[in-house]
Amino acid sequence: MTGDEAPGLVVCAALRLEARAVARGLTRAPAVVVGYRARHAARLPGCAAVAVVGFGGALDDRLAAGDVVVAEEIRGGGQPVPCPAARTLAAALAADGLRAHAGPLVTADRVVREPERRAWAADGSRVVDMESAHVAAALPAGVPVAALRVVVDGPGHPLLRPGTVTRGLAARRVLARTGPALERWAAALA
């Protein structure tokens, strides 16, 4: 790639910790930190595709810490954004040995409490984050987006409890294994 070409895929994460983890498995795509609630999403470089990755909270009580949820649709903050290749990406992650699922993702503006979890779970949403809808809204029309979250907390294992650190470290190891499938997803778009 010359200095004038835009990258094919840009992988973005809210936290430097998440970006460093996913970068371990990437060979061609850059991992970019967009900040808490994606406050730096407008600074993303031009690209052919974007993947939003990181940790998330399960809404579906069948999900366990370390499971990967790939968004079929990103909800929150406006019109839902469809992610038509979600099942293909989830299958690629499963082929790499990860427990991967597909389903709707919802972006919240704060840490979600139990009543909100139940309401979003009732509408079919499987995981919650704080960035994906903001990143999707910042993209130019026509740029494909994927969103995946590794479950750290959820029903039965709340975020602000002992055990979060252990679940977070396990989730970081899982996130580090998602890069190859993300790059295969982006290559298939070309």
Domains and CATH numbers, the chain: 9-189 (3.40.50.1580)
Q: Taking the chain, what is the end-to-end CA distance rounded to the nearest angstrom?
A: 15
pTM here is 0.89
Is residue 114 over pLDDT 50? yes
CA dist., res. 183 & res. 180, Å (int): 5
| pLDDT surpasses 50 at 117 | yes
Residue 40 is encoded by which pair of tokens?
A: 């730096």
> Average model confidence (pLDDT) for the chain?
87
pLDDT of residue 168: 72
Please report the pLDDT score of residue 157 as a whole number.
58
CB 93 within 8 A of CB 68: yes
Distances (CA, A) of 54 to 18, 132, 150, 159, 190: 6, 10, 6, 15, 24
What is the band of 155 on the pLDDT scale with cuts at 50, 70, 90? low
